[in-house]
Structure 1
Amino acid sequence: MQNYPRNALFSALFLGAGLVGHAAAATVASTDAGTSVKQKEGTTATPSARKPPSATSATKTPPAPSTTLMQQVTVTGTLLPIDPNAAAVPVTTLDADQLGQTGVSSNMLETLRKVVPAFAGRSNAGASNAQNRNQFTAGGSQVELRNLPTLVLVNGQRMALDAVAGLSGSKNFVDISQIPAAALERVDVLTDGASSLYGSDAVGGVVNFILKQDYHGVTFGAHYGTADGGYKDRSAFVTLGGDIGPVNITATVSDAKTSPLFQSSRSFTSPMYGVVPGTGLPGVVGGGSYVLAPGLLTPPVPTGTAATAGSYAALSPSVYNATSAAQLSKGFDYSKYAMLLQQQEHKNLVVNMTSQPFTDDQIEAFGDVLISQNKVQSTSWAAAGQPFAHATLTVPAGAPYNPLTTAATGVTFADRSRPKQVFDTTDAYRFSFGLKGKLPGSWTWHTSVDYSESKLSERDTQLIFTPNLARAVAGGYDSSGNAVAGGAYSQVYGGYSINNPLVLQPALNPFAVTGNSAAALANVLGTEVLNGDSKLYSADAHAVGKLFELPAGRVNLAVGVSWRHEEVSGHADPNGRVTDPVTGSTAGNDQNWNGGMFTDPFSHGRNVSAVYAETLVPITSSSMNIPGLHQFDLTAASRFEHYSDAGSSHSPKLGFRWEPFDNQFVLHGTLTKSFAAPQLYQAYGPFDTRPVTDNLIGIVFGKPYATGNTFNGEDGVNPSLKPSTSTSRSIGFEFRPKFVKGLTLTADYSSITVHGFPGGADFTTIMQSVNALGSASPYFDSVSTGNFTNLGGADPFGTPGSLKAFLTNSATGLPDPSKYSQLYVIDRFRNQSTLIEHSWMLGLDYVLPTNHYGTWAVSSKGMLFNSYKFQRFAGGPSQQYAGNASNIGVFAGTLPKASFYSTLDWSYGNLDMTLANSYTSNVNDAGPAGNLPGIRVPSYSVWDLRGSYTWPLGGDEGDRSVTLALGVNNIGNKMPPIFPRSFTNQFTTSDIGTYSPIGRMVYVDLKVSL
C-alpha cells in the first residue's frame, strides 16, 4: 500500500487506528431477504462494535435467551444457508441504529456515502447535481461501489431502473430515495462482484435493502435539522405492525423534505462572476457592445414609428452605456440563481408481509409493496450557466419597442425576473409476492414474482418558444387585428405549436430587462414537458439442499432459474424533439424550445433468462485436526444468462475460506467473472445531433482550422453493443484475537478489470484516425458529407489525407470554412474501453471489555484506492482517476485515494453518545478533462457529535419507550475545499457531490415506540 498523510492516520487512529472495517457477515437471520432458516446451536454471537441492541429496538423482537445463538442464514452474496461468519464474500451490514446515527434521515444516498466510504466517485449522484446535466438524475439517487456498476436489490429482488433512463441515457440506476430509512431493518453491502448469482450490473458489488418484518406495535418519529442559509432537513414516519391470522403486516409511511441551498448562501460559491456570457443578459444590445443604463428597465425614449435615434451611440450614455461582453459577464453575479442542493420531497409507503406455515408442507408466503413519489425542484442546468432563457435577434425598424429608426441588431431578449427552473416528479411502484417451503429430505424451495415501475414527469419552465419570438416582437397590428404600421399587437402561433392558427396578443418588448406583461409573454415563454418510464417484470425460482456428506461436512447445492423483462421509454413534447418528425432532419420543426432538453421518442425492451447454481464444498474441518488446515472451504457459483438482444453471458465464481489454526484468523478470497448489459438507451435510443465547435477541427489539423464555425455532430447509439465483461479478484482476512476480547480487524484487497466498457472515442480521435488511415480506420463509417451515415450521408474519405483535403481550399491551401457545414461526424457507443481498479477496504471494530463506566466502542471504515485507470479506446492513453479530480468523462469527479468514517460510541444506561469523523485525503485538481498537471487540494476532515437518551415506558415486553436525540453534523462548519480548475464548467469551485456544502447542521430526532 501507499503512504498517506499523517493527519489522515491521526484522524483514524483517534477513532479506530486508521483501519476501516466492514462486518464480514450479516448478524441478522435471513433467507435472501431476512427470514430465519435454522439455528446453529452452541455458538456465540460475534461482539458488535456498537452498543448491544436495547429493548427499545424498532424491530421489537422477543427478548433473547441468556446465551446468544448464532443464526445459520442465507446472507447477501450466497444462496446457501450458512453461518454468516463462514461466508467467503465481504459483506458490510448496517442496521437501523447505525443508519440513524448519521443524522441524515431524508437522504439514503448521503447516509450510505457517509458510513461506507466505498461509495466513492461521481457516479454516486443525487441532490447535489442540480447544476450538472452530465450527472442528471431528475431527483433520483444513484449509488455505485468503487464508482463501478452496482446492483441494487430490495429484499433480494431487483427493482426497475429510474425512469430518467428513458430520457437522457446518461444514467441507468435504481433510485434508492424510493426506500426510506424508517422502513429498513438493515442494509447489506456486498463489495465484490456477484453476477454469478444476481446477473448483470453486479460488477462493483450489491446493495441489498432489507425491509422491516414481523413487527408488532406502533413506532413513530420525526427529524428536524437546520443549517445556515435557510437549509432545512425534516422528516416524519409511522411504522405499524400486527398479525392478521397467520400473516404479519408491517407498514411504514414516511415523508421527508429538504430545502434548496443556493450558491449565494455559501462563501466558496458566492459571488460567482464571469459565468454568464455578457451577450446572454437582458438589456444588452449591439451583440454585447451596449447595455441599458443602471436603474432603467426599458429605454425611456420614443420607439417604433416615433423613434428618433439612428444608432445606439446616439442614445448613449443616458440610455445605453458602451461596454463589452467580457465586462458584462464579469459584472453579473450568477450565484443568486444557482442551487447547490435541489429542493426535494419524498413520500413513501412500504408494506412488508410474512406468514407462518399454512400447509402440512410448511409453505410460507411473503411479499412487499413500495409506493413512492419524489418531487424535486432545481434551477436551470443550461449550458454556459445561463440562468434564464435568452435569444439574440434583430428587431426590424418600426417595431413598436424599437428605439432606433433602423433595424436594431444584437438585441438580447431575456427576462431577469423569470429564471428557468426544472420540476421533476417521479412516481414509483413495486409489488412482490412469493412462496417458499420444504421439499423431501433437507431441501427447500423459494419462488417469487415481481413488478416494478418508475414514471417521470419533468417540466422545464420559462423557456422561449423560438418560432414565436420574432413574431411577438414585430407588432404591426392594432387591438382588432388590423395591420397597422408600428401597431402594438403581434400575431403569433397559439398553443406553442406552429400547426395552430395565429392569435393576437400585445407585442413583446425585447429591450426590457423585465416588466413585460403576462399577455405579452404568452406563447413566448413556456414549459417543456418530458416523460420517461421504466418497467421491470421478473420471476425467480430456486431450490437449496444437501447433495452428500464429506468427512469435513455436508456439500450443499443451490440451483435456480430466473426470467425478467425490462423496458424503457421516453419522449419530449413536440417542440422538444431533436429531429423533425416528418423529415428526420434537424432543420425543420424541431428543437423549438430555446434552452430546452431535446430528445426524440424512444421505447425499447428486452427479455433476459438465466440458470444459475452455487455450491459449498468443505475440504477440512476442525474435527479432522489437520495442522494449518483447521477449516478450509471452497465455494463455486455459475450463471448463464441470455439476452434477447445482446447475446449471452457466462459468469463463474470461485472462492475459498481458510482458517489456518482456529477461527481467530480467517483468510478468504474470490475470483469472479461479472458483466454489465448494454444500456437500452445506448443501444437503441434516439440520435442526439447538434452543431459542434470547429475548435475540435483546429485540434486535429492546426489552429488555422479553428475559424469560429461549426460542423455537425451526433452522439450515436449502437444496436450492436454487447455486455461489458469484468474479472474481479479479491482476497482478505478477518482477525478476532482471543487475547484482545472484542477486537475485529479486517482487510480486503480488490482488483477489478472491466473490458468492453461502452464509450465514445470523441470527435477529435475519430477525425484524426479517418484522416490518417482512410478506409482502414475503425471509425471510417463515422465521418461523412451531406448527412450522417445513418441518415444516408456519403463517406468519401477512404484515402489517407482526404479529410484534411476536403476541409482545405485547393487553390489557396488555406482552411475552407464553407465546407465545415457539410461535414458530419458520429461518435457512437462502442465496446472499446478498459478500466483497471486496485483498492483496499480496511477495518477495525473494538468493544472495550468494561461495564464499570458504560460500554465504549470504536469503529472505523474506509477505502484506499491504489489505482483507477481508464482507457477510452484501444491504443489510447490511460487516465488515472485515483487521487485526482476532473469534471469531463465517464468517471469524472473526485476520487480520493483514502477515505475514512470513524466513530467512538459510549453508552451508559439509557444514555448514548457518539463522536464521528469523516476524513478525505488530499487530491490533485487535474482540470476539467483530467489532463492538466495537478494542483494539490488539501485533505478534508469533519467531526459530528450526537447524544440520545431513552425513557422506558414499561409494558409486557419492556419495549415501550421514548428516545430523544440531539446532534451536530460538521461541528466546525467546514466548507468544501476549493478546486481552482476542475469544476469551473459546473460553475462552482468545488465538488459538492463529494464534499457536502451544508456546513454545520444542528438536528433533533424523536422516536416513540408503543
Structure 2
Amino acid sequence: MKFTAKKTAIAAVVAANMFALPNIALAQQDDANEAEAKDVELILVTGSFVRRSENFESPSPLAVVDSVSIDAIGAKNIADITQTLTINTGAENNPDAFTQNATAGTSNINLRGLGVASTLVLLNSRRQVVNAQQTNEGLNFVDTSSLVPMIAIDRVEIIKDGASALYGSDAVAGVVNFITKRNYDGVKITADYQDGAHGDNSEYILQGLWGASSDRGNVMAAISYTDRSPLFLSDRRLSRPQDDSSNLGNPGSYFGVPGIPAGVPVIDPTGCAEFGGNANIAATVPYPGFGSLDLGTCQFDFGPGYSYVPEESRINAYVKSNYELTDTITWVTEFGLARNRAERGGAPSFPNLRGPIVPATHPDNPFGTAVQFLGRAEGNGFEADPANTESETFRFNTALTGEMDNGFWEISYTNAKNEFLFRVEDVLNTEFNLALSGFGGANCDPSSPAAVAGQGPCEYFNPFATSFTTSPNSQYVIDSFSADQVIDSEAKLQVLEGFASFDVFEMDGGFAGLAVGLQYREEELSQDYDQLSNQDSFSFVIGNPDFSDSLDVWAAFAEMALPVNDQLDIQLALRYENYGGSIGDTVDPKLAFNYRFTDDFSLRGSISTSFRAPSIFMRNGGATSLQQLTDPVVGGNAFAAVRTAGNTELTPEESTAYNFGFSFEPIDDLSVEIDYWNFEFEDLIIQESAQALLNSNPTDTSRIVRAGDPLTGPVLQVNNTYVNASSLETNGLDIVSSYKIETEVGTFTPNLSATYILAYDLNDPQAGQIDGAGRRNFTNIGVSSPELRANLGLTWTNDIYSANLFARYVSSYDDDQNCSDGTIRTGSCGNLGLKEIDSHVTYDAQFNVDLGALLNTETNYLLTVGGINLTDENPPQVFTNSGFDSKVHDPRGRQLYVRLAVEF
C-alpha cells in the first residue's frame, strides 16, 4: 500500500494538527512531489477493503501519524504516541497498583473513553491477540507495548468512528492500525536515553532495523530493547499520607475487647504512633488495667513502597518478508516476539481480610481474652514486597495476495498467543492463625502430639506493637505463613480470512468497487491459579478457581464504494457475525459519504451500528483486585479487596455511532477540520462499580464484607460481577487546524488539535443517571472525562535543522470522590459541590540536526534533544491513592531525552 499525492497531503495535515510536530509538512510535501512524478496507484487504507484512486477522500474521520511524526514527539514506545491523542480518554498507560493491579508493564488505547476493549488494534490490518491478564475492570485488551518495535513502524492510521460493519466486534469505538515499513532496504540503528527529574527514574532504548531487497521480494527485521528504572511514591510524593492509608496496619486494632461495644475496634494499647502508625481515634474511654483505651484504628501509610512507574525490561523482535511467487501473486509472512518483565512496588504485606483471632493464651496478648486482629502481618518498618509480571507474546501471519484484471484478492492466516504470569506475595490464612496460636514455623507440625505452642520448632507470631521492642518476630515464623499467589494466564487467537475486491460497474466518478469476504476466528482464554489460590488460602487476594474457555466466530462482510460523480463518494458496508450459543448473531451496517462542494470545502458523514459480545473472562472468569473505596458507614477511605465473578447470563452490547464533519481551506496553506461525533450504547457490559455498590447499600451483607460487626465494621471486601447496564451516550467535537508560513529563516507551522466532550451520559445500575462529562466518574462505571483536551504547537524547519514547541492542555474536571472542602464524599456534598481537579498545561520542546548533512558524510546521522513537561509541572492533586488521576495525567514530571539515529 502506498499513499498517493492527494492522500499524503491529507495525512500530513491530520498528523500535524494532532501532534504539533516538526518536519511533517516538509516531509509530506516531499513525498507528495515524489508521488506526482510516479504512475498513479490505487491505494488501500484503513476503513475500507476497496482500493481507491488518488482523488479519494475518506468519508470516515481518518487520522494518520507517520514515522517522522512519531520520532518528533520523542516517543520511546507506543504509549507515548497514543497518550498525546486528544481522542484517547481513560487509557491505562501510567500503571500503578491502584489502577493496574496485575497489568504493570502494559499499555492500551481507549478511544472516546468507551473502554480499552472497545478499540480494535490492528498490525498491518491483522487482528492481534489480547493480553491474557485483564484490567481491574475485567477487560482484556491488546497490549500495545508488545506489538512491534517502534523503529519498524511506518505510520499509524486511526478510524475515529465506529467500524464494526467492516472489522467486527471490538471496533465499536474505532480502529487503530499500526503499519510497518514496506520494502525497506538498508540498516538503521537508534539509541535513546531519557532521564527524569525525580528519583532514579530513567530509561534507555536500543533499536535496530535491517532490510534487503531482490528483484522479487524483500525481507525486513527489527529488534528493540528497553530498560526502565522505577519511580516510587517516596521519590515524588503527590498524595497526602491519608490518601494512601489503610485502617489495617501493624500496629493494628482489635475487636472483641471486653466491655467495648461489639464491632468497635480498639487501637493497640502497646503502641501505635510511636511505631509509625497514625492513630485515628474516634473516642477515648477509661479502662481498668490500662487507664484508658483509644477506640479507632491504627492507620498504616502504605504509599512510599508503591511505584508510579514500575521497573521494566522489554525485548521486541519482528521479521517480515514478501516474495512475488508470480507476476500476480505475492506471499507475505510476518513473525513477532515480545518479552516484557515488570516489577512494581507494593506494601510490606496486604491487609488481612479474614479476621484472625489472637487467643487469650498468646503470651503477648495484653487483653487476657481472645480478640480479633484488624491489621496486617507486616507494616511500619518493613521492606515492601513487589509484584512481578512476565509477558510473552508470539505472533505469526502468512498471506497470499493476487491481482485480477479488475481487482485483487487476499487470503491470510494469523496465529498469536500471549502468556502472562503474575506473582505477588500474601499471607496464608490457616498458617497465620496457627502462628497466632503458637504453632508457627515451617518445621512445626501442630497435629503432632509432641507439638507445644511456643516451644521448640513452634513459635508465636506477635501482632502487637511489642514486636517492635521486647518480643520481636523471627523471620522463621513470618516465612511460614507467607507465600506467592501465582496466576498463569494464556490467550490464543487464530484467524482465517479471505476477501476479494473488484470493479463492478462504472459511474460518473469512476468504477464502483465491491469487496466481499469471510472470516473465521477462534479465541481462547485460560487462567491457572496456584494450588493455594484454588483453595482460597490467602488472607487478602483470597484465590480463585482455574478456568478455561473458547469462543468461535464466523463472519461474512461486504462493502461497496460508489464514486457517484466527481463530487460525491458513498461507502456502504455490511457485516454478519455469528457467535453461537447464548450470544447469538448480529448484522451491522454502515453508510458513509464525502461530498466536495469545492476544491476547498468538503462534507463527510457516517452512521453505523456495532455489536460487542461479552468476553470469555466476563462470562467465565473471576479475579480479586485491590481498590480504594470510600466507606459511607465508617466515613473514610478503605483499601479493600474487590472480588469479581463472571456472569454467564450476559447479553451482547449494541451501539449506534454517527459522525458529521467538514474540511475547509479558506486560504492557501490554512486547513481547518471539524467533526461532530456521537456514540449511543445499549446493554453496555460493565463491571459493577464497587463504590456504587457501597453507596447504594452499604449494609448489604451478601455484597459487603466488614470486619467485626457485619453492618458497622470497616469494609474489607466487596463482591461484584458483570452486568448489562442500561445505556451510555457520548458526543463531542474534534477540531484540527494548521497554517504553514514560509519565511527567510525557515517554515513555521502553528497548529491546533482539540477534542471537546459535549456529553458523557451514563445510566449506571447502581449510581443511576450520571452526567459524566467534566467528571472523574470515580463512583460510577465511567472513566475520567475532562471536557477539553488540546494540543497547541509551533513547528519550524530550515534545511538540516528543525524544532518544535507545543503546549498540551487538559481542562479542569470534578472529582466525585471528594467534596469541595476536601472532605470525603459519602453521599451528597450539598451546597459545597464536588472538589475541582485543576486544569493542567505542560510544555514540550525538541531540536533536531542532521549531522550527516552538516558534516558531509555518506552515513546519515540525526541528533535529537528534547524535553517533556519542561517546567516540571505536578499533575493536579487528587485526594486518592497515589495523589493523581493516572488515567489522565503523567506523574513523572520533567523528562529530558537525547537520541542518535544512524542509517546507512
TM-score range, shorter chain: 0.7 to 0.9
Code of the residue aligned with 1:129 in structure 2: it is: D
Asked if 1:111 is matched to 2:111, the reply is no
What does 1:236-635 align with in structure 2 at a 5 Å threshold?
Answer: 236-243=206-213, 246-269=216-239, 271-273=240-242, 275-282=244-251, 287-292=266-271, 325-326=296-297, 328-329=298-299, 332-355=300-323, 357-360=324-327, 362-380=328-346, 393-396=356-359, 402=364, 406=368, 409-410=371-372, 414-416=377-379, 417-439=382-404, 441-461=405-425, 463-475=426-438, 483=450, 487-490=454-457, 508-511=461-464, 512-513=467-468, 516-577=473-534, 590-596=535-541, 598-621=543-566, 631-635=567-571
1:964 to 850, 863, 886: 863
CA–CA distance in structure 2, aligned partners of residues 263 and 44 of structure 1:
45
Q: Aligned pair in 2 of structure 1 residues 935, 617: CA closer, same or farther (>3 Å)?
A: same
Larger Rg computed on CA atoms: 1
What is the Cα-based RMSD across aligned positions, in Å? 4.2
CA–CA distance in structure 2, aligned partners of residues 969 and 467 of structure 1:
50
| 1:88 Cα deviation from its structure 2 partner | 0.7
Asked if 1:849 is matched to 2:742, the reply is yes
What does 1:97-246 align with in structure 2 at a 5 Å threshold?
Answer: 97-106=68-77, 108-114=78-84, 116-121=85-90, 124-132=91-99, 137-148=103-114, 149-165=118-134, 170-179=138-147, 180-227=149-196, 228-243=198-213, 246=216
| 1:379 Cα deviation from its structure 2 partner | 2.9
| 1:647 Cα deviation from its structure 2 partner | 0.7
Asked if 1:990 is matched to 2:890, the reply is no
* Partner of residue 625, structure 1: none
| 1:274 Cα deviation from its structure 2 partner | 6.5
Q: Aligned pair in 2 of structure 1 residues 603, 47: CA closer, same or farther (>3 Å)?
A: closer
Q: What's the secondary structure of 2:737's corresponding residue? A: strand
| 1:601 Cα deviation from its structure 2 partner | 1.2
Q: What's the secondary structure of 2:476's corresponding residue? A: helix
What does 1:746-765 align with in structure 2 at a 5 Å threshold?
Answer: 746-759=673-686
Q: Aligned pair in 2 of structure 1 residues 141, 65: CA closer, same or farther (>3 Å)?
A: closer
| 1:886 Cα deviation from its structure 2 partner | 2.8
1:90-115 C-alpha deviation (Å, 9 max, x unpaired) = 11111122122222303x2232121x
CA–CA distance in structure 1, aligned partners of residues 431 and 734 of structure 2:
58
Q: What's the secondary structure of 1:147's corresponding residue? A: coil
Q: What's the secondary structure of 2:238's corresponding residue? A: helix
CA–CA distance in structure 1, aligned partners of residues 488 and 689 of structure 2:
29
Q: What's the secondary structure of 2:477's corresponding residue? A: helix
* Partner of residue 612, structure 2: 676
Q: Aligned pair in 2 of structure 1 residues 158, 218: CA closer, same or farther (>3 Å)?
A: same
* Partner of residue 62, structure 2: 91
CA–CA distance in structure 2, aligned partners of residues 66 and 547 of structure 1:
28
* Partner of residue 281, structure 2: none
Unaligned runs of 5+ in 2: 258-265, 277-285, 636-640, 704-708, 819-824
Q: Is the 8 A contact 1:954 1:960 kept in 2?
A: no
Q: How many residues align?
A: 834
Q: What's the secondary structure of 1:197's corresponding residue? A: helix
Q: Is the 8 A contact 2:220 2:321 kept in 1?
A: yes
1:352-375 C-alpha deviation (Å, 9 max, x unpaired) = 2222x2214x10011211111121
Asked if 1:901 is matched to 2:791, the reply is yes
Q: Is the 8 A contact 1:728 1:752 kept in 2?
A: yes
TM-score by length of structure 2 reads: 0.83
| 1:863 Cα deviation from its structure 2 partner | 0.7
1:700-737 C-alpha deviation (Å, 9 max, x unpaired) = xxx9xx9xxxxx99855333423211111111111134
1:339-364 C-alpha deviation (Å, 9 max, x unpaired) = 22222222101112222x2214x100
CA–CA distance in structure 2, aligned partners of residues 669 and 42 of structure 1:
18
| 1:525 Cα deviation from its structure 2 partner | 1.2
1:834-866 C-alpha deviation (Å, 9 max, x unpaired) = 11111111101222234x211222232221100
CA–CA distance in structure 2, aligned partners of residues 720 and 409 of structure 1:
42
CA–CA distance in structure 2, aligned partners of residues 335 and 763 of structure 1:
22
* Partner of residue 938, structure 1: 838
* Partner of residue 809, structure 1: none
What does 1:916-955 align with in structure 2 at a 5 Å threshold?
Answer: 916-927=806-817, 933-952=833-852
Q: What's the secondary structure of 1:109's corresponding residue? A: helix
Q: What's the secondary structure of 1:519's corresponding residue? A: helix
Code of the residue aligned with 2:684 in structure 1: it is: F
Q: Is the 8 A contact 2:440 2:480 kept in 1?
A: no
Q: Is the 8 A contact 1:342 1:377 kept in 2?
A: yes
| 1:275 Cα deviation from its structure 2 partner | 4.2
* Partner of residue 879, structure 1: 770
1:888 to 757, 779, 783: 779
Q: Aligned pair in 2 of structure 1 residues 288, 857: CA closer, same or farther (>3 Å)?
A: same
Q: What's the secondary structure of 1:603's corresponding residue? A: strand
Q: Is the 8 A contact 1:923 1:939 kept in 2?
A: yes
Q: Aligned pair in 2 of structure 1 residues 277, 548: CA closer, same or farther (>3 Å)?
A: closer
What does 1:618-767 align with in structure 2 at a 5 Å threshold?
Answer: 618-621=563-566, 631-645=567-581, 646-660=583-597, 662-686=598-622, 717-737=646-666, 740-759=667-686
| 1:183 Cα deviation from its structure 2 partner | 2.2
Q: Aligned pair in 2 of structure 1 residues 220, 325: CA closer, same or farther (>3 Å)?
A: farther
Q: What's the secondary structure of 1:265's corresponding residue? A: coil
What does 1:32-47 align with in structure 2 at a 5 Å threshold?
Answer: none
Q: Is the 8 A contact 1:608 1:641 kept in 2?
A: yes
Q: Is the 8 A contact 1:129 1:993 kept in 2?
A: no
CA–CA distance in structure 1, aligned partners of residues 726 and 8 of structure 2:
48
Q: Aligned pair in 2 of structure 1 residues 959, 817: CA closer, same or farther (>3 Å)?
A: same
Q: Aligned pair in 2 of structure 1 residues 594, 732: CA closer, same or farther (>3 Å)?
A: same
CA–CA distance in structure 1, aligned partners of residues 554 and 798 of structure 2:
54
Q: Is the 8 A contact 1:280 1:391 kept in 2?
A: no
Q: Is the 8 A contact 2:95 2:105 kept in 1?
A: no
Q: What's the secondary structure of 2:87's corresponding residue? A: coil
Q: Percent identity?
A: 23
Higher strand share goes to which structure? 2
CA–CA distance in structure 2, aligned partners of residues 103 and 747 of structure 1:
27
Q: Is the 8 A contact 1:943 1:969 kept in 2?
A: yes
Q: Is the 8 A contact 1:279 1:288 kept in 2?
A: no
1:81 to 51, 55, 78: 51
Q: More displaced, 824-833 or 248-257? A: 824-833
Q: What's the secondary structure of 1:728's corresponding residue? A: strand
Q: What's the secondary structure of 1:620's corresponding residue? A: coil
| 1:518 Cα deviation from its structure 2 partner | 3.6
Q: Aligned pair in 2 of structure 1 residues 84, 562: CA closer, same or farther (>3 Å)?
A: farther
1:516-541 C-alpha deviation (Å, 9 max, x unpaired) = 44433333111111111111000111
CA–CA distance in structure 2, aligned partners of residues 761 and 569 of structure 1:
23
Q: More displaced, 276-285 or 369-378? A: 276-285
Code of the residue aligned with 1:156 in structure 2: it is: S
Unaligned runs of 5+ in 1: 1-29, 298-310, 492-505, 578-589, 622-630, 707-711, 771-782, 789-815
Code of the residue aligned with 1:552 in structure 2: it is: G
* Partner of residue 791, structure 1: none
1:248-289 C-alpha deviation (Å, 9 max, x unpaired) = 1211111113222222222432x5136434542247677423
| 1:437 Cα deviation from its structure 2 partner | 1.0
Q: What's the secondary structure of 2:817's corresponding residue? A: coil
Q: What's the secondary structure of 2:234's corresponding residue? A: helix
